[in-house]
Amino acid sequence: MYVATAALCACGGCHCSLMTVGEPFIALLADNSISYSSHFVDRRTIAPSDVVLVTGGIRNAEELEIASEIGRTSRKVIAVGSCAVYGGIPGAGDIPPVEVEDGSGLPALLPRLEPLDTAVPVELYVPGCPPPPNLIFEALKSVVEGYSSIRFDSTVCSDCPRRVQRGPVRRWTLHPGTGVHGADCLLSGGMMCLGPVTRGGCRASCPARGAVCAGCRGPSDAVLSSQLHSMYADMVKYVGLTCGTREDKVAREMAALLRWMYLFTRRDPVTRARIREKVVDG
Amino acid sequence: MAEIISIDPLTRIEGHLRIDVEVEGGRVVDAWSSGTMFRGIEMLLQDKHPWDAQQVTERICGVCPLVHGTASSYALDDATGVKLPDNARLIRNLTLGANFIQSHVLHFYHLAALDYVDPLAVADYTGSSLPLITLRDKFRRLAAEKDPYFFLPRYESPDYIGQPGGPGDPDLACELVSHYVQALEMRKKAQEALTIFYGRMPSFVGTVPGGVTTKPTISNTTAFKARMQELQQWVNDVYWQDILTVAQVPEYQELLRAGDSGGNYLAYGAFDLDAAGKDKFFPTGLIIGGDVLNTRKPGRDEIAKQITESVQHSWYTPECEGLNPREGKTEPELGKKDAYSFLKAPRLGGRPMEVGPLARQLVMQEPGFMSLVDRLGLLTEPLEFGILPRHAARAYEAVLLAAKLPEWTDELQAGIGGDIWDPKGAEIPDESYGKGMVDGPRGALGHWIHIQGKTIGNYQCVVPTTWNASPRDKSGNRGPIESSLVGLPVPDVDNPINVARCVRSFDPCIACAVHVIHPEHNGVKEFRII
């Protein structure tokens, strides 16, 4: 099989994460070949391929053209990283459209950053900023070897080693990691961790090291399950239940969280059912 | 007749970079470097909560998020008046050091080495190393099947190590290819070491305004040290030796001096050795006009005051011209006359400065490195340091850090139980300025934050590649990469391998959004590949 990687409006983090896979990736390439990949080899013209890992969203006319070209020449496309899946941080940085003068040679900026599947049908989604190496590799392997990847509905909390302390929280802070916290749940300590509503599979690497979950893997399946759910509403409910505080009071405190709840998914705040069906999970 | 060669985009770097060079009589006579790093990150940060800065700026670049996160933390520490506890300082040093090693190994083996080695030599391999046998069988099979993607497009050049009639022998090429595979695993170890304190990599979480989030324990410090000891051995025995081997290939002797950027070097310094950050393992300093034996040592504040950014040839409005980053502006103006890059042109006292490993090592003047450049005959007039010394400086840094990190781990172990966080980091002043200046693998990185009304009023980043790959400034001075290309030997305009070697030796890193110009030129050669 011919495997390729491409980067649209991306920072290179997903490629770096893929590179950390190391030997299993090399072993996969023993029987398969790289057809193009600007980061690993010198061929970067789009060529017919069986699987393409695409990172980054679509920000300008050129990236749109590359994405469509990939769609035309490839059998299966995997959207890697929150930028490709949801729009990611560049999606949060949308600027008013800028007119490009004719003759400057610059590709026109699109009105806003669009996720990958607005231009090409996507076979699998691997959200995360960046996704853990094992998940990218699992997605690639499942397509190359033709099996359905293992997935289950989990949240970051289900992987987290911290203990929930039921009881009211005295003071909320927006700080991402206030030094002393022992082994208790960061929410119980008053830190606004998005673990309860964020898709798991990352082994809770951030809260396990004492920093809040910023929600980089996007909403969990439970949040995506119906229009009645949202990351915000579910957070309010969860915190209200564990802290035994009235929901309207929690809702007021949590309003500050809206500023970064959709940092990675702002381009796509409405639920997207198809992502639910096709995401690779831990 | 002079001929313009355009390499667009240059591969095996991070992001989109276009290089145009004008070649006359087998040498480059002029050069333009056009970069695009426009994703509007600085603009996105305006009016946001100051604590968002560190999470967002890490996403500027997926290869060196750690340095951005660290610089951002230092900027916020500065703005909030944090006094960093010793343990936090050490953990930041350890993680930054591990990141240096992984980045340098990645750059040499996975990005740059293919410019010097012919991997096809492996097809005739006769030894017993398992990865090489796998590769050999793969190459042979692909050749037998006439695979369309097998023969990787690359510039023809008579001086790849291991090619028929080239320098070195096929065995040496095989050895270097096997190190390419080993380097993947070694890099992974450095990444693992980082995650011990920072949870994951890239886009880690463990450093926050005020300190770090993971307490040192016997188990995590020991796990870190074990990985470092393994790395130290490999860096000394393999990486450093490979660099010495390549630097001594007779065909490459010209590359020792070719690619000199003009003799101005700048290092912000990194790895604080005391709480105040006065004493650093990689010192702060600068070199002007190629006077490498006379390093100037102004303080960081003084350096920061002298920085201005010119936008004469960049796609930004004239209001952004000549500002210090503390007051800097980022307002795009596409279609601007004379502009050819999205990078601004930072200058120190009006001078373009090269930043990165070579700048740091020349400023540091560590005896081991200086004796190497002396041995290579580089300490005689004219004092020029080109393509290979940049690779050597990078490898020497890895050697220095691999030796130093276990010592710092011991120091951290001795301080188990101490503070990792200063509570002042959780208080946001109404109005404050902060700057975080730190040297990352690619060079001097500065973040400037202006907090107004408890939110971000202005956030400016001046990144290493902006220094190195900058376009011409208001006075018409070329950026360091542009200067380094002038005079470079290009015997065959269809295969400008030396141009690619020279640009890659800077380890440019350009996260990308919008593409760059295509000048309407007669005799333009477009290289879509390589």
Bridge partners (DSSP) of residue A212 are none
pLDDT score for B107: 87
| Interface probe with A: pick from B52, B84, B197, B200, most Cβ of A within 10 Å | B200
Give the three-class secondary structure for B100.
helix
Q: pTM (2 decimals)?
A: 0.89
For the stretch A274-279, contacts whose Cβ atoms lie closer than 8 Å and that sit 24 or more positions apart, written own/partner, are A274/A117, A275/A85, A275/A125, A275/A127, A275/A218, A275/A224, A276/A221, A276/A224, A276/A225, A278/A122, A278/A123, A278/A124, A278/A125, A279/A124, A279/A125, A279/A126, A279/A127, A279/A151, A279/A199
Report the candidate in B375, B369, B371, B365 with the shortest Cα–Cα distance to residue B291: B365
Closest residue of chain A to B148, computed from CA coordinates: A35
Band of pLDDT at residue A222, cut at 50, 70 and 90: confident
Give me the architecture of the A2-145 domain, per CATH: 3-Layer(aba) Sandwich (3.40)
- Give the gap in angstroms from C-alpha A248 to the nearest C-alpha of chain B: 24
In chain B (530 residues long), the average pLDDT of successive 10-residue segments reads: 66 65 84 66 81 84 84 92 92 93 90 84 86 84 70 72 83 89 88 86 81 90 94 95 91 90 93 88 93 89 93 88 88 79 88 94 93 89 90 95 95 91 87 93 91 90 86 90 90 84 82 26 29
Q: Which of B51, B62, B153 sits opposite A12 (nearest CB)?
A: B62
Q: Which of A16, A22, A101 sits opposite B335 (nearest CB)?
A: A101
Report the candidate in A202, A168, A164, A159 with the shortest Cα–Cα distance to residue A186: A164
- Give the gap in angstroms from C-alpha A117 to the nearest C-alpha of chain B: 18
Q: What is the Cβ-side half-sphere exposure of residue B434, based on CA atoms within 13 angstroms?
A: 30
- Give the gap in angstroms from C-alpha B256 to the nearest C-alpha of chain A: 25
**What is the predicted ipTM?**
0.87
Judged by CB atoms closer than 8 Å, whether chains meet at B14 and A12 is answered as: yes
pLDDT score for B523: 29
For A110, the token pair is 């699109």
A194 within 8 A of A174, measured Cβ to Cβ = no
| Interface probe with A: pick from B91, B135, B514, most Cβ of A within 10 Å | B514
Inform me whether the pLDDT recorded for A273 exceeds 60.
no
A166 within 8 A of A146, measured Cβ to Cβ = no
Pick the CATH number of B3-208+216-527 from 1.10.3720.10, 1.20.120.330, 1.10.645.10, 3.30.1490.20: 1.10.645.10
Give the separation between CA B300 and CA B298, rounded to whole angstroms: 7
Q: For residue A54, give every residue at least 6 positions away whose Cβ sits within 8 Å of its Cβ, in sequence order, or none.
A: A5, A6, A7, A8, A67, A70, A77, A78, A79, A80, A84, A116, A120
Give the separation between CA A51 and CA A28, rounded to whole angstroms: 13
Judged by CB atoms closer than 8 Å, whether chains meet at A43 and B152 is answered as: yes
Band of pLDDT at residue A271, cut at 50, 70 and 90: very low
| DSSP sequence for A256-276 | GGHHHHTTTTTT--S--HHHH
- Give the gap in angstroms from C-alpha A253 to the nearest C-alpha of chain B: 16
Integer CA distances (angstroms), B195 to B8, B63, B190, in order: 35, 15, 9
> Which among A14-28, A241-255, B516-530 has the top mean pLDDT?
A14-28
Give the three-class secondary structure for A95.
coil
Other beta carbons within 10 angstroms of residue B289's beta carbon come to 11
B446 within 8 A of B237, measured Cβ to Cβ = no
Give the separation between CA B24 and CA B30, rounded to whole angstroms: 9
Q: What is the Cβ-side half-sphere exposure of residue B484, based on CA atoms within 13 angstroms?
A: 39
Give the separation between CA B254 and CA B251, rounded to whole angstroms: 7
Report the candidate in B404, B446, B90 with the shortest Cα–Cα distance to residue B269: B446
Inform me whether the pLDDT recorded for A144 exceeds 50.
yes
What kind and span of H or E run contains A136? helix A133-145
Read off the pLDDT of each residue in A147-168 and give the average, rounded to a whole number. 84
Band of pLDDT at residue A268, cut at 50, 70 and 90: low
Inform me whether the pLDDT recorded for A80 exceeds 80.
yes
Read off the pLDDT of each residue in A180-203 and give the average, rounded to a whole number. 86
For the stretch A21-24, contacts whose Cβ atoms lie closer than 8 Å and that sit 24 or more positions apart, written own/partner, are A21/A133, A21/A134, A21/A136, A21/A137, A22/B184, A22/B185, A22/B188, A23/B184, A23/B185, A24/A137
Read off the pLDDT of each residue in A7-30 and give the average, rounded to a whole number. 84
Per CB-CB distance under 8 Å, the chain A contacts of B332 are: 95, 98
B468 within 8 A of B443, measured Cβ to Cβ = yes
Per CB-CB distance under 8 Å, the chain B contacts of A105 are: 516-519
Q: Which of A12, A35, A216 sits opposite B149 (nearest CB)?
A: A35
Q: Could you state, in order of their start, the residue ranges of all structural domains in chain B?
A: 3-208+216-527
B270 within 8 A of B436, measured Cβ to Cβ = no
Give the separation between CA A264 and CA A273, rounded to whole angstroms: 18
Q: What are phi and psi of B396, to 5 degrees?
A: -65, -35
Per CB-CB distance under 8 Å, the chain A contacts of B441 are: none
pLDDT score for B414: 93
CA A38 to the chain's CA centroid: 22
Phi-psi region of A23 (alpha: psi -120 to 50; beta: other; left: phi over 0): alpha
Q: Could you state, in order of their start, the residue ranges of all structural domains in chain A?
A: 2-145, 156-273
pLDDT score for B13: 58
A172 within 8 A of B51, measured Cβ to Cβ = no
Give the separation between CA A4 and CA A45, rounded to whole angstroms: 11
Phi-psi region of B351 (alpha: psi -120 to 50; beta: other; left: phi over 0): beta
- Give the gap in angstroms from C-alpha B17 to the nearest C-alpha of chain A: 12
| DSSP sequence for B338-381 | T--BSS-EEEETTB--B-SHHHHHHHHT-HHHHHHHHHTT-SSS
